Structure 1
Amino acid sequence: MCEVLSGWSGGTERVVEGLCQALAEDDSAWVQSSAALALGRIGTGAARAGPALLRAAQTGEAGVREQAMRALVMIQPPEATEAFTSGLADATAEVRMVASAGWMKAEAVPASAGPALVEALRDPEPQVRANAAHALARLEELPTGAVTALRECAGDPNDGLRLNAALALRQAPSAEAADLMEHLLNDPNVRVRLVAAGAILSVTPTHPHAAEVVLAATDDQSPRVRQAVEELLPLIPKEPAGSDASKGEAPLAPTGM
């Protein structure tokens, strides 16, 4: 029924209104979930469904909360910010994962979401922690308590979590993350190593190990890695013309006649 409605007239106000009514008033969790699914398929044209989806994402049954959160990710109405923030503390892991992923698509991450994102760095689900770290990396300034939690995440076995934690720690004062960035230069993941190298070279351009990490990845098979290398190469000072390093091997001195 909801699939038919979502395709009817390309998502007109009448369709959105009917789906919102089903979401808010129907006693069936299946109908509510289906209505949320249909609204998500309509996309940005269903922005006026934001209040109904927010209410469902916060008060519905687990399946309804998850589907409403997914719809909010797809639609991105003004209510999405509140939904993603409160969803980080949901009792159901699936809802927390969708809510944390919502920040990946959000146009901006407000500073007001900072405390909830820091708390999410201690979520039992690695994907939630990774998404939260990625969102924190988008803030201009890390909130209180973020550096300590991000340092813990940077030591996790999950590559994606370590990478996003390293990205976020670039926002930390150098003194609070310098030792960790030094350690991450030896991370098994090349992308993590490059993030650490970039953070160090931006402060200490002559750091030899950081430069080695960048230069060692110039021929990596991954286009994403090679692009990161191209962005970091300007941070490495070029040898001045006439230096021993630029001349290569010195010629042998002539022998006496």
Structure 2
Amino acid sequence: MNNDFRKKEGTSGYNTHPLGTDARIEFKLAEIDPDGNSTDGIIRVYANDIDFEENEENWLFDYLPHYGYWNIQEYINIWVFPFEPNLLLGQSSVPKVDLPGLENSVITGTTGIMITTPHFGTSDLVGGSNLGKTLTHEMGHFLGLEHLWGREENADCMAFDDYCEDTPIVSRRTGGCSNAPTSCNGEIALTQNYMDYTDDACMNMFTKDQAERMRYVLEKSNTRKSLITSSSINRN
């Protein structure tokens, strides 16, 4: 994920696209747990030991804290959960901040990111989501990014947007590694963007506006800004 956010040369997160940029955001595993003890930031839980009742009103995402939930002001909780592959890749909560598309976000329930186990990191899984880009995509949502087509697919091109001016307007997702479909205004769609649904092998870029939007969320959101100065890592 750091390779992707930092556009690190020599990795699958590097690109030479004129709109691609280094988001200047890095992530680190926690080194200090909520009790002040040293940690690697990883908790392993036997799923069958957690007893809860799922119902239609509360989907599993809102039960994930039963497996472990650290202070959201200090940590980004990421749950890696064993769903079947290629059915559900991941999900993220979104922030509320004074940006278009986020100013009316309703902040209730779980704050964090869920990734299906087969899509966490690299694997030999059959399908296009096996190089770890699912977490990069969901972290984009966690930091305020929309899908390139906004929140509703196949709508009128001008009715929905991702609020980033340098991403050509599209009305739907792209699958696989598409051969340069056109956007609503005739430009080449950014199929290599992390906020599309293309295969992991195609994804390698955030744009400048996307990076600025994420950085603004980190600086201004009440549920994100304290992460910058979190006491969960050693700063010596």
- TM superposition score category, shorter chain reference: under 0.3
- Structure with greater helix percent: 1
Q: TM-score, normalised by structure 1?
A: 0.25
Rg larger in structure: 1
Q: TM-score, normalised by structure 2?
A: 0.26
